[in-house]
């Protein structure tokens, strides 16, 4: 008797069409594929709804649902998308379908096997996140100019840690660097002043989707 193997699938929290709110693709119409689950519990997390729930979908079904929105940009996010092993073939399937694909990942898991066509947006956790010890530092050596490194900062201590990390690892020579203030914790104007005073080679950013729609899900 032949046992048929099930097609690869993932637990998907939501798929929605919005404007990209962060990084170099900010403002571009994008389809977001949010996968369920995350091994981290950052103090400032704004996607706790992605820790659980969702529906299991085959990779083929996910690609079909993405196509319904008619956008060229696709962002696979979470939670932590790489926590599901079939995230890797999903990324490849989306690239094969002709999309410009980005991956938003916590930086706690290995990015080595991610399809080289994918732009990896790696979130290096500062001390204020409570998850700094989870950073997978080997990822730094894998970064290319196509990738981006994000620091989410809650206070001056986080900022100084980020500056030291950039200088010690010469991160600005590897890929673009993003600095974001934690909402309601660090005033955006204050972070902007620090960046200018220290002449840092980083991009300051606010989350565009929050400016437009607040913390509304599916936006």
Domains of the chain, each with CATH number or no CATH: 9-213 (3.20.20.70)
Six-digit token string for 218: 């599916």
CA dihedral 26, 161, 201, 137 (to 10 degrees): -70
Six-digit token string for 217: 């899900």
3-state helix, strand, coil in the chain (%, to 5): 35, 25, 45
Residue 55, CA distances (Å) to 4, 27, 150, 218 in order: 22, 28, 29, 15
pLDDT at residue number 3: 53
pLDDT at residue number 2: 55
pLDDT at residue number 218: 72
Q: Using DSSP bridges, classify how beta strands 100-105 and 119-123 pair: parallel, antiparallel or unpaired.
A: parallel
Six-digit token string for 21: 């709110």
Three-state DSSP at 142 gives helix
pLDDT at residue number 217: 77
Residues 6 or more apart whose CB falls under 8 angstroms from that of 128 comprise 43, 44, 153, 154, 155, 157, 158, 182, 185
CB 44 within 8 A of CB 106: no
Instruction: Specify the pTM.
Output: 0.93
pLDDT at residue number 39: 94
Rounded to an integer, what distance in angstroms lies between the CA atom of residue 83 and that of residue 47?
Answer: 15
H or E segment at 14? Answer: strand 9-19
Tell me the β-bridge partners of 12: 35, 55
Average pLDDT, 10 consecutive residues per value, the chain (219 residues) = 76 97 95 97 92 96 98 97 98 98 96 98 97 96 97 98 97 97 95 98 92 78
């Amino acid at each position: 008797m032949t046992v048929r193997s099930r097609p690869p699938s993932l637990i998907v929290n939501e798929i929605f069409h919005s404007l990209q709110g962060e990084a170099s693709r900010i403002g571009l119409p994008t389809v977001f594929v949010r996968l369920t689950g995350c091994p981290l519990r950052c103090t400032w997390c704004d996607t706790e709804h992605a820790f659980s729930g969702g529906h299991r979908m085959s990779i083929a079904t996910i690609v079909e649902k993405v196509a319904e929105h008619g956008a060229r940009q696709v962002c696979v996010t979470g939670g932590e998308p790489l926590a599901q092993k079939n995230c890797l073939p999903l990324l490849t399937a989306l690239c094969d379908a002709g999309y410009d694909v980005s991956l938003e990942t916590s930086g706690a898991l290995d990015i080595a096997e991610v399809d080289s066509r994918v732009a990896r947006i790696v979130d290096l956790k500062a001390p204020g996140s409570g998850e700094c010890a989870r950073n997978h530092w080997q990822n730094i050596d894998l970064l290319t100019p196509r990738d981006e490194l994000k620091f989410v900062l809650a206070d001056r201590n986080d900022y100084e840690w980020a500056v030291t990390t950039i200088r010690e690892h010469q991160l600005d020579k590897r890929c673009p660097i993003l600095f974001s203030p934690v909402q309601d914790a660090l005033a955006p104007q204050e972070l902007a002043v620090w960046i200018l005073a220290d002449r840092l080679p980083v991009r300051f950013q606010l989350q565009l989707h929050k400016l437009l729609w607040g913390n509304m899900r599916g936006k």
